[in-house]
Amino acid sequence: EVQLVESGGGLVQPGGSLRLSCAASGFTFGMYDMSWVRQAPGKGPEWVSAINAGGAYTYYADSVKGRFTISRDNARNTLYLQMNSLKPEDTAVYYCATDRKAMGVPDDDDYWGQGTQVTVSS
């Protein structure tokens, strides 16, 4: 079966860094555009970043541009999100998802992971 499993979340101080991973299985990972989406408590989902299937093209929400870096290793079926200069407003559950319909637009028909919690607090 298709699986996307996020890991790497945790508690970090403002200004700190975390590296999230999303391990994919059960589908041809290297053929899919991918996104990271986050959801803070009481808020709707917010698209964070996207990367095309080959990894050559990346896109970021203005709120994270210059601080986060999306990447992928298709040989290892893994998507990454390097998060630097973290702020309290980055606190959220972070999900990885396929972008089957269009890059940067995961929807209910896409594959989603279970999410990993990121908390930025002193």
Average pLDDT over the chain, rounded to an integer: 96
* Mean pLDDT lowest among 30-39, 75-84, 97-106: 97-106
Taking the C-alpha atoms of residue 28 and residue 74, their distance in angstroms, rounded to an integer, is: 9
More confident residue, 71 or 107: 71
Does position 96 have pLDDT exceeding 90, yes or no? yes
What mean pLDDT do residues 7-33 have? 98
pLDDT tens by residue, 60-95: 999 999 999 999 999 999 999 999 999 999 999 999
- Which pLDDT belongs to residue 105? 86
Position 106 pLDDT exceeds 90: no
Averaged pLDDT for residues 34-60: 97
Tell me the C-alpha distance between 120 and 43, whole Å: 17
* Mean pLDDT, residues 21-31: 97
Residues paired with residue 82 on neighbouring β-strands, in sequence order:
19, 69
DSSP code for 18: E
Residue 35: closest CA among 99, 91, 84: 99
